[in-house]
Chain A
Amino acid sequence: MNTVLKKVDQRNAHITLRVNGEELEVSFAPYKTLLEVLREDLDLTGTKHGCELGECGACAVLVDGEPLLSCLKLAIECDGCAIETIEGLAQGPELHPLQAAFSDHGGSQCGYCTPGVLMTAKSLLDREPNPSRERIKEALSGNLCRCTGYQQIVESVEEAARVINERGAKA
């Protein structure tokens, strides 16, 4: 390897992202994944990593509304995309019903898988407001959780769906 040619600062990739509704320009080393750019260059450390190989679901975020493993996506491929992360889920001080349900019903223990689970669950409820228990399990089957045994996660999603639908009915 020719070490003379190595540049110490490689932040020469430059893209625009819409992150949690906010238009951002970001420069970063071109080898970086979306996960790394979110965590390291945008300080959005709410998105976690458990393997960085697409195996655990901890890094799931929404890209143009679709759940995606941010560790498998090069950030440079995301120019112009809308990204939703855990930091954008609450509206100010008001928790999203999924967040409230998870913290009240045991859906989150150590909390490490929680952001990825919540974003995946949000994408499910955005499309299917009344998912069956089996559908919830299916949607979350790519998100590994080591604490809960999943039962209280599934119950939390059901509770959130109930609250969202109740609010929808009132509105």
Chain B
Amino acid sequence: MSTAKKLEVIGHARRRVDGREKVTGQLLYADDMKLPRMLHMKLLRSSHPHALIESIDTARASAYPGVHLVLTGKDFPVPFGIMPVAQDEYPLAPEHVRYVGDPVAAVVANDEQTASEALDLIEVKYKSLPTIATPEEALAQPEARIHDYTDSGNIHRNQAFEFGDVEEALEKSDHVFEDLFFYEGDNHMAMEQHASLARAEGDGKLTLWSSTQDPHYLHRQLARVLQLPAAQIRVIACDNGGGFGGKCDPAGHEMVVSKAALVLGRPVKICLTREEVFYLHRGRHPVLMKLRTGVTKEGKLTGMHLQTLLDGGAYGSHGPASTFYTGVLTPLTYELPRFKFDACRVFTNKPACGPKRGHGTPQPRFGQEVQLDKIAEKLKLDPAELRLNMVTKSNSLTASWLKIGSNGLAECIRQVVAGSGWKQKHGKLPQGRGVGIACSSYMTGAGVSIYWNKMPHSGVQLTLDRSGRATVFCGATEVGQGSDDVLAAVVAETLGISTKEVCCVTGDTGITPVDLGSYSSRVTIMMGNAALQAAGRARDMLAAAAAEQLEVLPEDIVLSRGRVFAAGDAAKSMSFAEAVVYAETKFGTLGTVGSYTPPKPPGKFKAAGVGPSPAYSFSACVVEVEVDEHTGWITVPKIWMAHDIGRALNPVLTRGQVIGGVYMGLGEALMEEQVFRRLPPKLSNALVHKIPSLLEYKSITSLDMPEVEVYLIEDPDPNCPFGAKEVGQGPLLPVMPAVANAVFDAVGVRIDEVPITPEKILRALHLKREGKNPRVGPDHFPDVPYVEPTFVVPPAEGGDGTESKAPNKHLERVAS
């Protein structure tokens, strides 16, 4: 249809569709819900970091007045896990607890207070096992196994890939830089604590309302654990009070509260305490990294060998994917002819790590971008110029077979360099003040689903009724990012109405088509494309019916501002609602569907599905710091962030995502850490969370937060709805290395790990004064038994994307 018209909804700053509910207190989050005869549940958690359960006596708790039910691991024989290869977790641990906080029993009572009192009456006898506190200990003590389903010791995943002969590339380089970096783990700290409410219905059906980012995956795991047909289970994702990846894993409490509701025939609710959220965790993996990077004297990369060691905590979670992500996205930003990465995830007796905003990529990006700063320093090149001279190109393939479509990285660098006054500042500010630059890239949706299938990743159904309203159904989940607003905007724009005439029904496995969930920055592109298809089909039906009435050709019909009319003839016009009536008369009840499946990945080797995405976003960031050399205190007066978004669907929300990403990245750079300590021997010596509270888990407040200057680079990507790429995760990624690089510019010390605390600054300054290497960071990399890599010839060297034998020369080197 020749309906090319100016965009009326997309690209305009608008009040988000759920804005009013959020400022009036009307929006119901999971814990705000209340049902008649509702009971409350609390969990008993292990006080041992690693132990076998010898016995659990629940008799006194069961007899406690007001208690309705006590459940233990015996009630849950089936393990679960979001990834098919890591189903290693039980809702309640049946015999083996693996961290302080592992749930072992549940009490359901009239109120939370009674349930808490009854927890104290449960007697658990534990037999302690040796505790693994660090990855080094996990590797050194393979006999003290945390899980026995993996190949050996405490290694959970071991992955290695080599794209071209990297050793050969390094040998031929003018310089080879070898650096170690460490990235501490941290928590999502969503403001809403996880809550779930389960209701059994008369005929054995179950409805679960939950704070979850992925109702579809939860639905599948609930069916598995409860051993119920999936068709009898309905999962409703309530609006999440923030997620950031922390509500992606199906969680034990969601299974237990469901079981309790089924057993009792009454609604049961649980809301975790903040301390419990720190135990459930699934946050950023602590990662130790070694980067060996070859460069020419002109400052071009020749090859990189990246090694990572992930501290996975006690369970699998998304671990197999997390492990891949500490490697696969590295080559997206700069031309890198050859790339090899070895990644290993080990189990430790700590809360499980999982996906947090940026999933696995902030860690290697930190190492890579700080190392680039060192390279620029050594080669006496401007760090911004160095980067600008080697950015990847649009419509290109990386050595690792990732297809880059649109690419605005160069423009991002130019914008932040100009906006920040980089050229007048870098290396030129007074002692104690400095600027640093860093870049990054992120996926706009993972190219493959978490479980193998060929079905769409997102589905949308759309109905039109005679009132002139469009109702749109999609499994996508609102976590605060504005997914409902995107859905409404795409439909409204296509149908020529306002978002007020669009009603969104989302995140309900009982009534909405499957969307895989709010993770991997996939919602805008996948739900958006599905919505575009469904709305386009509805528009075609409306145009056909209206054309008949107006006696013009359907392709001449325009839908705009609530009207349906003939292009160039304003007299031939009707309201949108009238067009719906004609269409319903012509076609019967109006409904359309749309769905979206990402393109196939270009690589054909095993695991080539991890990393490919229909589009990649790019970001560049300049951070300015002031470092007090007496206290080590870092003040950040301003941050400049340019983000290649493709198109901003609602600029207010887009800008909010960018600033929010900067905020979270700055917290990780300066203060956030999920860390542990051993209790004194007289108090059991147990490995416990050091700071499971919001007071002591430091995060940035309104007083610490600098001004952020946001530049949106809008070059619409053809794979994305109205050209819109992701913004939820990318802008977090370059902040941490930009801070580290700014600190170097300010005071000449290298902090090769995050968080960059005042104590580390003082330590490095002390080394500097003593004439030693002014650096704080890891000083050794353990001997990790990495596997032989899958070898793939890069596209530029004539590869076909399949696994091949490593070149002979390479094998000889391995043999020697």
User: Which chain A residues have a beta carbon within 8 Å of chain B's beta carbons?
Assistant: 1, 3, 6, 8, 29, 31, 39, 43-53, 55-56, 58, 85-87, 89-90, 95, 98-100, 102-106, 108-115, 118, 136-138, 140-154
Q: Is the CB of B19 within 8 A of A104?
A: yes
Q: Is the CB of B699 within 8 A of A144?
A: yes
7 sampled A-B residue pairs with Cβ under 8 A:
A6-B117, A48-B29, A85-B25, A103-B22, A108-B19, A110-B190, A111-B239
* A102, B25: Cα distance in complex, Å: 13
Closest partner residue, chain A, to B271 (CB atom): A49
**Interchain CB contact (< 8 A) of A106 among B29, B120, B656, B693:** B656
Q: A118-B23, A146-B190, A152-B656 are in contact. Are A29 and B113 (CB under 8 A)?
A: yes
Given A112-B192, A137-B702, 13 more pairs with CB closer than 8 A: A6-B64, A8-B65, A51-B274, A53-B693, A86-B24, A99-B20, A106-B655, A112-B29, A112-B242, A146-B188, A146-B190, A146-B664, A148-B663
Chain B interface size band reads 35 or more
Complex contacts, B663 vs chain A, CB 8 Å: 148-150
Closest partner residue, chain B, to A142 (CB atom): B701
Q: A149-B705, A150-B702 are in contact. Are A109 and B662 (CB under 8 A)?
A: no
B26 at the interface (CB under 8 A from A): yes
Is chain A's binding surface mostly helix, strand, loop or mixed? loop
A138 to chain B minimum Cβ distance, whole angstroms, is 7
B57 to chain A minimum Cβ distance, whole angstroms, is 15
**Interchain CB contact (< 8 A) of B22 among A44, A51, A114:** A114
* A126, B653: Cα distance in complex, Å: 28
* A154, B193: Cα distance in complex, Å: 25
B356 to chain A minimum Cβ distance, whole angstroms, is 12
Q: Is the CB of B656 within 8 A of A147?
A: yes
B797 at the interface (CB under 8 A from A): no
Closest partner residue, chain A, to B694 (CB atom): A55
Q: Is the CB of B66 within 8 A of A108?
A: no
Complex contacts, B29 vs chain A, CB 8 Å: 48, 112
Closest partner residue, chain A, to B703 (CB atom): A141
* A84, B243: Cα distance in complex, Å: 29
B85 at the interface (CB under 8 A from A): no
Complex contacts, A49 vs chain B, CB 8 Å: 31, 193
Q: Is the CB of B705 within 8 A of A151?
A: yes
B413 at the interface (CB under 8 A from A): no
Q: A105-B652, A109-B656 are in contact. Are A51 and B25 (CB under 8 A)?
A: no
A90 to chain B minimum Cβ distance, whole angstroms, is 6
Complex contacts, A106 vs chain B, CB 8 Å: 652-653, 655-656
Q: Is the CB of B482 within 8 A of A109?
A: yes
Q: Is the CB of A109 within 8 A of B481?
A: yes
Q: Is the CB of B702 within 8 A of A143?
A: yes
B272 to chain A minimum Cβ distance, whole angstroms, is 11
* A105, B16: Cα distance in complex, Å: 9
**Interchain CB contact (< 8 A) of A111 among B27, B113, B705:** B27
Is chain B's binding surface mostly helix, strand, loop or mixed? loop
Q: Is the CB of B25 within 8 A of A109?
A: no
* A146, B319: Cα distance in complex, Å: 24
Q: Is the CB of B191 within 8 A of A6?
A: no
**Interchain CB contact (< 8 A) of B110 among A8, A100, A109:** A8
Closest partner residue, chain B, to A105 (CB atom): B652
Complex contacts, A6 vs chain B, CB 8 Å: 64-66, 117
Complex contacts, B24 vs chain A, CB 8 Å: 46, 86-87, 89-90, 95, 99
User: Using a CB-CB cutoff of 8 Å, which residues 610-661 of chain B contact chain A?
Assistant: 652-653, 655-656, 659-661
Q: Is the CB of A43 within 8 A of B19?
A: no
B378 at the interface (CB under 8 A from A): no
Complex contacts, B481 vs chain A, CB 8 Å: 109
Binary A-proximity of B469-494 (CB < 8 A = 1, otherwise 0):
00000000001111000000000000
* A100, B24: Cα distance in complex, Å: 10
B442 to chain A minimum Cβ distance, whole angstroms, is 18
* A47, B32: Cα distance in complex, Å: 9
Most buried by A among B120, B241, B663, B702: B702
B619 to chain A minimum Cβ distance, whole angstroms, is 15
Q: Is the CB of B241 within 8 A of A111?
A: yes
Q: Is the CB of A55 within 8 A of B22?
A: no
Q: Is the CB of B16 within 8 A of A149?
A: no
Q: A86-B24, A103-B19 are in contact. Are A148 and B659 (CB under 8 A)?
A: yes
* A29, B40: Cα distance in complex, Å: 16
Q: Is the CB of B273 within 8 A of A52?
A: yes
**Interchain CB contact (< 8 A) of B192 among A43, A50, A89, A103:** A50
Q: Which 6 A-B pairs have the closest CB atoms?
A: A46-B25, A110-B480, A112-B241, A149-B663, A103-B19, A111-B22
Q: Is the CB of B191 within 8 A of A58?
A: yes
B707 at the interface (CB under 8 A from A): yes
Q: Is the CB of A152 within 8 A of B655?
A: yes
B31 to chain A minimum Cβ distance, whole angstroms, is 8
B767 at the interface (CB under 8 A from A): no
**Interchain CB contact (< 8 A) of B23 among A52, A95, A138, A147:** A95
* A50, B191: Cα distance in complex, Å: 5
**Interchain CB contact (< 8 A) of B15 among A8, A104, A147:** A104
A105 to chain B minimum Cβ distance, whole angstroms, is 7
Complex contacts, B26 vs chain A, CB 8 Å: 46
B708 at the interface (CB under 8 A from A): yes
Q: A95-B24, A104-B652, A147-B242 are in contact. Are A50 and B694 (CB under 8 A)?
A: yes
B127 at the interface (CB under 8 A from A): no
Q: Is the CB of A48 within 8 A of B191?
A: yes
Binary A-proximity of B5-46 (CB < 8 A = 1, otherwise 0):
000000000011011111111111101101000000000000
B121 to chain A minimum Cβ distance, whole angstroms, is 8
Most buried by A among B27, B114, B240, B481: B27
Closest partner residue, chain A, to B244 (CB atom): A146
Q: Is the CB of A108 within 8 A of B708?
A: no
Q: Is the CB of A108 within 8 A of B693?
A: no
Complex contacts, A115 vs chain B, CB 8 Å: 25
Complex contacts, B653 vs chain A, CB 8 Å: 106, 109
B695 at the interface (CB under 8 A from A): yes
B228 at the interface (CB under 8 A from A): no
B573 to chain A minimum Cβ distance, whole angstroms, is 31
Complex contacts, B701 vs chain A, CB 8 Å: 141-142, 144, 150
Q: Is the CB of A113 within 8 A of B191?
A: yes
Q: Is the CB of A138 within 8 A of B703?
A: yes
B438 at the interface (CB under 8 A from A): no
B455 at the interface (CB under 8 A from A): no
A33 to chain B minimum Cβ distance, whole angstroms, is 12
Q: Is the CB of B694 within 8 A of A99?
A: no
